[in-house]
Amino acid sequence: MKTAADTDNWRQKYFDSLGRLENEQREFQAMEASLKKLAGRLCTASLGQSSRLDEQIKKLQTAIRRDVSSEELEKITPALTEAIQALDQPSEPKSVAPVQAQPPASVTPIAAAAVSAKPAASTAVIGDESIRAILAALLGELRRDADLAPQADAVDSRLSEALKPEQFPDTLSTVTQMVSQRIQRIEKAKLEIETLLSHMVGKLDEVHQFIAEQHRNQTESHAASETLSVQLVGEMKAMGETVEATNDVQQIRVHVRSRLESLDRHLREFREREATLSSAMQARNEQMQVRICELESEAKYLHGQLRNEQRLSTLDALTKIANRGAYEKRVDEELKRWQRFKQPVCLAVWDVDYFKRINDTYGHRAGDRVLVTVAEFLSSRVRSTDFVARYGGEEFAMLLPGTKTDDAVRLVNELREGVARIGFHFRGTPVSVTISIGITAFQPNDSAGAAFDRADKALYRAKESGRNRCVAS
């Protein structure tokens, strides 16, 4: 049977899991708010194109302010799309809306980009990189949900090319729906865990009551044994006194028989009490076995969910390798081992060369594919004791325990050359991809941050020296 400490430990783990779900829920609610704010600002920027479009935009703005559901937003989309498409038809003269040459300082960069955008119907609505970055971040988070990943990839593929005005409402509506679905699933998972936790707490309370009853029964049984012992001693003593005080054999016989009957009565009462206690304990034991089986089944389910959530929390949503949080935990562990055993450990920081150019030229979908391929290549060609993580953006971090600097440089250069030979293609077009690396070894009085800064500076020197190379610090 689990100890109280084990129970408290499990309970804390489940509450931690619930806390992480609540944090994720808050993040997606913030994302949903940002998405609606973005839609509102783009609506403001689009006013003045035509009276028909203005009418539909105002309906959308009202719906956003009222915080309506995704289903109601979906009802507005067809009419809005038709109004946008009608801009290409010369049947209705376009009204001219006054536009400020310079947006006020209080306006955010996204709103400023929307206000300053030219209102030509043929230009892409999502032309600003900051807007694309927000949507890309939303889609990256949505990919964490396996059921939403295909939809997120489909929207991402649309973002890799310039969107026409009539395409934007559908795209924005799709992203909004996915965010709403993700929030609903998080809330559902949170509710399920809360229900299971409540159920398990109830079961644990039953176990506690069972233990208390067992202790009480043992106390009662001990008290009954003590009572029987006192009664037996008393009867035997009284029988001895009678024998000593009486010379009449017949009278002694009567007294002895009376005492024996009394002893028999005491024993019967004792056995009946013990049988009643034993029966009650057996019934409670059987009931508790059922409860414990149910509790163990629920604990296994929650444990599995917890393990899966912990695994997902340490994985990068796009590349499926370790993320920055996992790296920070691992580098601290390696640093402590190095301080204790003094075995060499090298840190390599990788950065894809000209990654922004790849995004700008071929689109974010191509850039994502490059990151995924590089991550798969690096993680599949290192030892099981090594560690590779996506640090952020196009940057990766690699830990090489038990490896001296010269050996690390040789290994990293082989991997760098391997990346250059992969032969990337996007829609049949060859894409040249190289990578630069900065390497450092752990040093006395080092910290994780100091080691990373040295490797990052070495990476910067590699970039300045022409890229596609490794520099050690």
User: pLDDT of 317-345, one tens digit each?
Assistant: 889 899 988 999 999 999 999 998 889 99
Mean pLDDT on 401-417: 95
Residue 468 and residue 381 in contact, taking contact as beta carbons nearer than 8 Å:
no
User: Residue 471: its pLDDT value, please?
Assistant: 95
Mean pLDDT on 109-124: 38
User: pLDDT of 205-222, one tens digit each?
Assistant: 766 677 777 777 777 777
Banded pLDDT at 97 (limits 50, 70, 90): very low
User: Residue 371: its pLDDT value, please?
Assistant: 94
User: Residue 418: its pLDDT value, please?
Assistant: 95
SS (H, E, C) 204-222: HHHHHHHHHHHHHHHHHHH
pLDDT, greater one: 18 or 215:
215
Tokens of 73: 């937003």
Domain end position, chosen among 130, 160, 188: 188
Residue 298 lies in a domain: yes
Residue 61 and residue 40 in contact, taking contact as beta carbons nearer than 8 Å:
yes
Residue 200 lies in a domain: yes
Give the C-alpha separation, 48 to 51, whole Å.
7
Per mean pLDDT, which range of 116-125, 287-296, 313-322 is the poorest? 116-125
Is there a single domain that holds both residue 84 and residue 125? yes
Is there a single domain that holds both residue 180 and residue 243? no
Is there a single domain that holds both residue 282 and residue 263? yes
Is there a single domain that holds both residue 87 and residue 179? yes
Residue 318 lies in a domain: no
User: Residue 11: its pLDDT value, please?
Assistant: 60
Residues 6+ apart with CB under 8 A from 92: 50, 51, 52, 86
Query: Which three-class secondary structure state does DSSP give residue 437?
Result: strand
Residue 210 and residue 288 in contact, taking contact as beta carbons nearer than 8 Å:
yes
Residue 333 lies in a domain: yes
> How many domains in the chain?
3
Residue 342 lies in a domain: yes
Residue 386 lies in a domain: yes
Signed CA dihedral, 445, 449, 455, 457: sign only: negative
Is there a single domain that holds both residue 230 and residue 172? no
Mean pLDDT on 376-384: 93
User: Residue 98: its pLDDT value, please?
Assistant: 44
Q: Strand pairing of 424-426 and 395-401?
A: unpaired
User: Residue 261: its pLDDT value, please?
Assistant: 77
User: Residue 86: its pLDDT value, please?
Assistant: 72
Mean pLDDT on 363-391: 92
Banded pLDDT at 110 (limits 50, 70, 90): very low
User: pLDDT of 416-463, one tens digit each?
Assistant: 999 999 988 877 888 889 999 999 999 998 999 999 999 999 999 999
Give the C-alpha separation, 235 to 11, whole Å.
55
Is there a single domain that holds both residue 37 and residue 163? yes
Task: Give the range of the structural domain holding residue 236, as residue numbers without chain letter.
Answer: 194-313
Hey, what amino acid is at 292? I
Per mean pLDDT, which range of 46-50, 97-101, 218-222, 307-311 is the poorest? 97-101
Is there a single domain that holds both residue 33 and residue 144? yes
Burial readout 218-257 (b: 16 or more C-beta within 10 A, e: otherwise): eeebeeeeeebeebeeebeeebeebeeeeeeeeebeebee
Question: Closest Cα to residue 133, out of 326, 317, 360, 320?
Answer: 360
CATH number, residue 364: 3.30.70.270
Is there a single domain that holds both residue 356 and residue 468? yes
Domain end position, chosen among 313, 334, 361: 313
Question: Closest Cα to residue 12, out of 186, 187, 200?
Answer: 200
Banded pLDDT at 116 (limits 50, 70, 90): very low
Per mean pLDDT, which range of 157-171, 183-197, 308-322, 378-392 is the poorest? 157-171
Is there a single domain that holds both residue 234 and residue 162? no
Q: Strand pairing of 395-401 and 345-352?
A: antiparallel
Q: Cα dist. 387→326, 346, 380, 409, 448 in Å?
A: 10, 11, 11, 16, 15
User: Residue 201: its pLDDT value, please?
Assistant: 67
Q: Is the pLDDT of residue 101 over 60?
A: no
Is there a single domain that holds both residue 425 and residue 459? yes
User: Residue 126: its pLDDT value, please?
Assistant: 45
Q: Is the pLDDT of residue 411 over 50?
A: yes
Per mean pLDDT, which range of 6-20, 71-85, 143-157, 405-419 is the poorest? 6-20
Residue 319 lies in a domain: no
Residue 65 lies in a domain: yes
Domain end position, chosen among 313, 332, 357: 313
User: Residue 118: its pLDDT value, please?
Assistant: 38
Per mean pLDDT, which range of 228-242, 277-291, 311-325 is the poorest? 228-242
